[in-house]
């Protein structure tokens, strides 16, 4: 048990203390505003106030966790204990920055509530983030801070013990396009064939007609994916796009029996989650229809979600998922770069800054996406494998959770995914290396 003294208990402070001590370190904590009680306690103690208190670990606060507004912050980044830090305080306290405020700023995604220049899909891009601009996007900086300070607490309070935490892995597969050629309908199939004909892409049309004639569709990688995961005793979460056809939603019609059979079959051996369509961001009714449709096919409640195109606005996306009763979201990561969008590799509860409350939605931030490596960063096979190894290594150092985002089509060895199959295989090898 850790006892934390503060002059004012707030929802923000209670939330971040629970995250740090319960979710990351696995120990109980208590916040008190009673100074006499704090002074008399024999528990390991953290003083989160502007005054020095004997026999306690002092973290001097800034104002962030005692505010209820969302304000532009002037932030400078320095180095402490080989880690980048911000929200600096004084050298008189045990650490020279406000750990609680800095952690809250990152995992609440405070900066994404402020005005920003969106990309063509309305997304907050990696290069606008504090982490990218200051060189710590590729670090689970919150977990690194917390573990460094945990060691300081253990040195100061000899009776303090921390439970052992283990590295974990959650594979996730998005099915944006269940099949490359099959079940698209006559209009889409003929149109695609004509486009390839005009582009003189003979090979594409040959493959198309081979699949239509009964050969295996290139994107039908489901059994192969299952076999790879079975080798390591893990099972992915499958996110299915079931929205209507549109410019950015190009899966096959949900009414198609073969598509429904595919979803139903996978649901027997793995968890099915919703992949809300691009267009559903404009309509809660459409989102609910997709959710209801997928639930009906699986015959099970849908509790997990990831936005198609990673379209995420903190002002509305998570609020809509909460209305549906979704319990877990896996959207939080960047399309344009790998790394730690929220500064952590530990799942956390979504804190609604607009309503100043912790919600019932747990966020599972992912760190690596196949499309990011291949199309945004344009890395080679070898460069992608090295980047993945770097990220996994840092997560293992803090016993965090590695979450990858892959697509059924990226294991097809087809189109721009030609030759990319070894990337996923190598990633699994790295994860399970002793």
Query: What angle do the packed helices 222-232 and 421-431 form, to 10 degrees?
Result: 20
> Torsion over CA of 8, 12, 16 and 17, rounded to 10 degrees?
20
The mean pLDDT of 222-242, rounded to a whole number, is 96
- Whether the pLDDT of residue 200 is over 60: the answer is no
Look at residue 36 and give its three-state secondary structure.
helix
pTM of the model: 0.94
Give first-to-last CA distance, the chain, whole Å: 33
The helix/strand/coil state of 207 is helix
| CATH 3.30.830.10 holds for 168-180+217-431 | no
Average pLDDT of span 225-249 = 94
Structure token pair of residue 179: 């099949």
**pLDDT tens column, 397-430:** 999 999 999 999 999 998 889 999 999 999 999 9
- Could you write out the DSSP letters of every residue in 254-305? TT-HHHHHHHHHHHTTSEEEE---SGGGG-HHHHHHHHHHHHHHHTS---EE
Please state the rounded mean pLDDT for residues 221-242.
Answer: 96
Q: How many helices (H) and strands (E) does the chain have?
A: 14, 15
List the domain boundaries for the chain: 2-156, 168-180+217-431
pLDDT in tens, 4-25: 999 999 999 999 999 999 999 9
Tell me the pLDDT tens digit for each residue of 103-155.
999 999 999 999 999 999 999 999 999 999 999 999 999 999 999 999 999 99
């Amino acid at each position: 048990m850790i006892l934390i003294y503060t002059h004012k208990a707030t929802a923000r402070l209670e939330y971040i203390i629970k995250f740090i001590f319960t979710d990351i370190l696995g120990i109980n904590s208590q916040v008190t505003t009673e100074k006499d009680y704090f002074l008399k306690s024999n528990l390991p103690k953290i003083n989160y106030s502007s005054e020095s208190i004997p026999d306690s670990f002092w973290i001097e606060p800034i104002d962030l966790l005692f505010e209820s507004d969302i304000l532009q912050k002037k932030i400078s980044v320095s180095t402490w204990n080989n880690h980048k830090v911000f929200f600096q305080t004084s050298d008189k306290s045990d650490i020279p920055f406000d750990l609680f405020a800095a952690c809250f700023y990152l995992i609440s995604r405070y900066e994404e509530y402020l005005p920003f220049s969106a990309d063509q899909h309305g997304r907050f891009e990696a290069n606008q983030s504090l982490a990218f601009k200051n060189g710590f996007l590729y670090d689970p900086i919150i977990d690194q801070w917390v573990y460094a300070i945990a060691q300081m607490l253990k040195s100061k309070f000899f009776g303090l013990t921390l439970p052992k935490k283990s590295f974990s892995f959650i594979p996730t597969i998005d099915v944006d396009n269940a099949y490359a050629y099959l079940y698209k309908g006559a209009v889409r199939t003929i149109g695609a064939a004509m486009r390839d004909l005009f582009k003189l892409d003979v090979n594409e049309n040959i493959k198309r007609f081979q699949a239509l004639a009964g050969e295996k569709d290139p994107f039908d990688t489901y059994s192969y994916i299952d076999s790879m995961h079975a080798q390591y005793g893990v099972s992915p979460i499958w996110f299915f796009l079931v929205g209507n056809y549109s410019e950015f939603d190009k899966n096959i019609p949900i009414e198609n029996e073969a598509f429904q059979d595919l979803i139903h079959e996978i649901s027997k051996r793995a968890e099915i989650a919703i992949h809300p369509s691009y267009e559903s961001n404009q309509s809660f009714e459409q989102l609910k229809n997709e959710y209801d449709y997928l639930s009906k096919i699986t015959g099970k409640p849908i509790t997990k979600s990831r936005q198609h195109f990673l379209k995420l606005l903190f002002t509305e996306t998570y609020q809509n998922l909460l209305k549906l009763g979704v319990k877990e979201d896996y959207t939080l990561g960047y399309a344009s770069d790998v790394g730690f969008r929220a500064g952590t590799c530990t799942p956390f509860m979504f804190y609604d800054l607009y309503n100043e409350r912790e919600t019932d939605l747990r966020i599972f931030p992912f760190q690596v996406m196949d499309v990011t490596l291949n199309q945004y960063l344009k890395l080679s096979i070898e460069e992608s494998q090295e980047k993945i190894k770097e990220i996994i290594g840092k997560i293992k150092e803090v016993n965090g959770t590695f979450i990858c985002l892959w697509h059924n089509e990226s294991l097809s060895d087809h189109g721009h995914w030609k030759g990319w199959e070894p990337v996923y295989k190598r990633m699994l090898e790295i994860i399970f290396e002793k």
